[in-house]
Structure 1
Amino acid sequence: MAFRLKLVPEDTSIDFFRAQKITFGLSAVLSVLSLVLVLVMGMNWGIDFQGGTTIRTESSQPVDVGAYRQAVSTVAEGDIVITEVFDPSFGADRHVAMIRLQALPGQEAVSPETITAVEAALQQIDPSITFPSVESVGPKVSGELIWQAVIAVLVATAAIAFYIWLRFEWQFAVGAAVSLVHDVVLTLGIFALFQIKFDLSIIAALLTIVGYSINDTVVVFDRLRENLIKYKTTPLRDLMNLSVNETLSRTVMTSGTTLIALIALLVFGGDVIRGFVFAMTWGVVVGTYSSVYVAKNVVLWLGVKRDWSKPGDTPAGTQFAAKGS
């Protein structure tokens, strides 16, 4: 007999609307507080959004990211990002890395003295290293990146809401959009609260959170539509509870296994990806919560049509039999 792991019983009857005013009110309060935190405390912008200088290095010796970081951190302040560049066209004796240095507050780029000190520090650990290019990114370009990131998140949310509208009804699209905005705002709030570094990788995490959250929401919505066809006279609130309970095992298993991998990366992944992984971990938790307690509450308040049967679904038999049924 095959062994099946069951984190949730097959038949659950949890009333998710028992404390709907508390859960939805808590989400509203946390969303407002998150916006206040972003406006008051601000975001801890990384190099991508604050500006800085990028130094390209080439060497005949393999790139030791740890040694590079230790050498650079002794002479440069602010955020430091070191990335090894891989290209099939590179020969065996050509090793390339990109070193990004964050500009200090009030400066448009890293000072020439700091760049000279960084190059000297790297040459001490690798005498064969050269610096083919040094490029600076000013605050104007960084500001454009911020707006492009905001537009990317808004367009993704709008496109998903439009898809939900076509796939279901406009009430479902509104519920999905509200839950997605809820997830993104709470993620921004937690980053502002703890002043976690916010760079382009976090934007990628936000877009991933949006996709993950809507996937779980669509599963619940799809089951709800099936139940609307099956139980035409059952109250909408009861059908929503039934739909969430029927998909609860799938939701817990999916979120649980995803969190296991994310927590492992959060603990052992290192500082380079820690911000991205933290955003993903927080997003999975918040996204699962919003699918159950935010999206369906909005749909319940807006109401949905009860007859999802196709126009051709008529009783079998003649027209007299249909009239007499």
Structure 2
Amino acid sequence: MLWKPVHLFTFKKKFDFLGQRKAALILSTLINVVALLGVAFVGLNFGIDFRGGIAIQARAKQGVAQLDELRSTVGGLGVGEVALQEFGDPSTALIRVQRQDGGPQCVAGAQKVMLTRAGPGWQVKPGPPGTGDVEFTSPAALDAIAWRDAVSRAGLTVQERQLPRGTVNTAKIDMTPEQQAEWCQQVAIKLVEDAIGARYEIRGTEAVGPKIGGELMESGILAVIATMAAIAIYVWFRFEWQFAVGALIAMLHDVISTVGIFVLFQLDFSLTALAAVLTVAGYSINDTVVIFDRVRENMRRYKKLGLVDLLNLSVNETLARTLMTSATVFVAVLALVLFGGPVLYSFSVAMLWGVIVGAYSSIWIACAGLVYLNLRPEQLRPDDDKAEKAKA
């Protein structure tokens, strides 16, 4: 005896989805325009990956790395945004700190480092406004060699001409604001090392400059464009060019509106967020292709049926599948939003929005696009018709 299929959703009433296409297109256009204006005038909250910053690998001397404890300790140092994740094994953590700006806060951090590493009595003060100069004061008079060793403890490498002449208590180190900003990356690394050094072994450090962050941003944009182009080409070969254009417009809608969510809630936009944008595009096209496949099948079956009625029929026939898939993914992603922690929060929120907007765009953007592109049954490839008849 064969098992009978169980229908969790049965819809006796057929919904006129495409009858609301004009209102949906107006709403979608408004959302995308607001999202683009938000990006232009408010801007994204770029994370360490794109702004540049510091990466520190720390391995626990005993047991596993306690990420929450590390986040609290490093976050309390006044070094700005901090992101942590497990790296390779549970005992190793990757600590990422935002790029440091030169200024009084950095100089205050340098004084903390000097008090910890060089002993009490040290003072570090900023130079005149508009310069990157820094003034060190020692508890005892030092000569040039001793000064070089002392300032190196705060991560500062100086040239011979920057060192004071003779044996003095004060050394003024001349620097440009840009040079001070670069030195401040080392100050932040020293602060983190001093704060966690008792329980963690520092395995490696790396400072990511703004140039590298810009290159990552450029690569990320190219990745999104290449992904969408490849998907559109696939849909073109699988169906027809009208389907490809409709799918591309739907993906653009989903990507732009997802970026708008990052602007609206000022979520951290990092490489993880970029992965969420790419995932949203992939999820969107998955549902779109299912509906398109049913549209093509019905176009062969009902050659005299009007296009809007045919699209409504196809969407209603796949509606149960769309709801089941979307609901399942929604529940899983909602769990990530609630319990995934700060590392996955921006990714999870973007995916939660992507589940909703992906189902919406498959119906009211992709399918509505076929109406405005004047798709007709006779435009289907003859080879596809022959293949369908051969299967029958």
- Name the CA distance, whole Å, in 2 between partners of 1:116 and 1:39: 37
- Name the CA distance, whole Å, in 2 between partners of 1:191 and 1:231: 43
The 5 A counterparts of 1:183-262 are 183-262=254-333
The 3 A distance-change label for structure 1 pair 216 and 103 is same
- Name the CA distance, whole Å, in 1 between partners of 2:183 and 2:355: 36
The 3 A distance-change label for structure 1 pair 224 and 110 is farther
Specify the code of the residue in structure 2 equivalent to 1:274: Y
1:34-69 CA-to-partner distances (Å, cap 9, x unmatched) read: 100001001000000000011122343121112211
Assess if the C-alpha contact under 8 Å between 2:58 and 2:94 holds in 1. Answer: yes
- Name the CA distance, whole Å, in 2 between partners of 1:202 and 1:309: 39
* CA apart distance, 1:18: 2.2
- Name the CA distance, whole Å, in 2 between partners of 1:147 and 1:206: 15
Secondary structure of 1:11's counterpart equals coil
- Name the CA distance, whole Å, in 1 between partners of 2:234 and 2:357: 22
Alignment root-mean-square deviation, CA: 2.1
Q: Which residue of 1 aligns with 2:188?
A: 114
Q: Which residue of 1 aligns with 2:337?
A: 266
- Name the CA distance, whole Å, in 1 between partners of 2:321 and 2:225: 28
The 3 A distance-change label for structure 1 pair 254 and 105 is farther
Q: Which residue of 1 aligns with 2:94?
A: 98
1:259-288 CA-to-partner distances (Å, cap 9, x unmatched) read: 011111111111111111111110111111
Q: Does 1:44 align with 2:118?
A: no
- Name the CA distance, whole Å, in 1 between partners of 2:287 and 2:86: 36
Secondary structure of 1:57's counterpart equals strand
Specify the code of the residue in structure 2 equivalent to 1:56: Q
Q: Which residue of 2 aligns with 1:174?
A: 245
Q: Max radius of gyration: which structure? A: 2
* CA apart distance, 1:99: 1.1
The 3 A distance-change label for structure 1 pair 257 and 76 is same
Assess if the C-alpha contact under 8 Å between 2:35 and 2:259 holds in 1. Answer: yes
Assess if the C-alpha contact under 8 Å between 1:43 and 1:191 holds in 2. Answer: yes
With structure 2 as the length reference, what TM-score do the two structures score? 0.73
1:123-158 CA-to-partner distances (Å, cap 9, x unmatched) read: 24x1xx322322100001101111111110111000
With structure 1 as the length reference, what TM-score do the two structures score? 0.88
- Name the CA distance, whole Å, in 2 between partners of 1:36 and 1:221: 32
Q: Which residue of 1 aligns with 2:68?
A: 66
Q: Which residue of 1 aligns with 2:25?
A: 24
1:157-203 CA-to-partner distances (Å, cap 9, x unmatched) read: 00000011101110000000000000000011111121111000011
- Of residues 53-62 and 14-23 in structure 1, the stretch that sits farther from structure 2 once superposed is 53-62
- Indicate the percent of aligned positions where both proteins have the same amino acid: 43
- Name the CA distance, whole Å, in 2 between partners of 1:258 and 1:77: 37
Secondary structure of 2:83's counterpart equals strand
Aligned equivalent of 1:278, options 349, 356, 359:
349
The 3 A distance-change label for structure 1 pair 83 and 309 is closer
- Name the CA distance, whole Å, in 1 between partners of 2:204 and 2:183: 15
Specify the code of the residue in structure 1 equivalent to 2:10: P
- Name the CA distance, whole Å, in 1 between partners of 2:327 and 2:203: 47
- Name the CA distance, whole Å, in 2 between partners of 1:239 and 1:167: 19
The 3 A distance-change label for structure 1 pair 302 and 271 is same
* CA apart distance, 1:98: 1.7
* CA apart distance, 1:96: 2.6
- Name the CA distance, whole Å, in 1 between partners of 2:282 and 2:305: 31
Q: Does 1:123 align with 2:201?
A: no
Assess if the C-alpha contact under 8 Å between 1:76 and 1:114 holds in 2. Answer: no
The 3 A distance-change label for structure 1 pair 25 and 202 is same
Q: Which residue of 2 aligns with 1:317?
A: none
Stretches of structure 1 lacking an aligned partner (at least 5 in a row): 88-93, 314-325
Q: Which residue of 2 aligns with 1:150?
A: 221
Stretches of structure 2 lacking an aligned partner (at least 5 in a row): 103-180, 387-392
- Name the CA distance, whole Å, in 2 between partners of 1:40 and 1:206: 21
* CA apart distance, 1:224: 0.5
- Of residues 115-124 and 285-294 in structure 1, the stretch that sits farther from structure 2 once superposed is 115-124
- Name the CA distance, whole Å, in 2 between partners of 1:108 and 1:151: 29
- Name the CA distance, whole Å, in 1 between partners of 2:204 and 2:337: 34
Specify the code of the residue in structure 2 equivalent to 1:75: L
- Name the CA distance, whole Å, in 1 between partners of 2:96 and 2:293: 46
Secondary structure of 1:294's counterpart equals helix
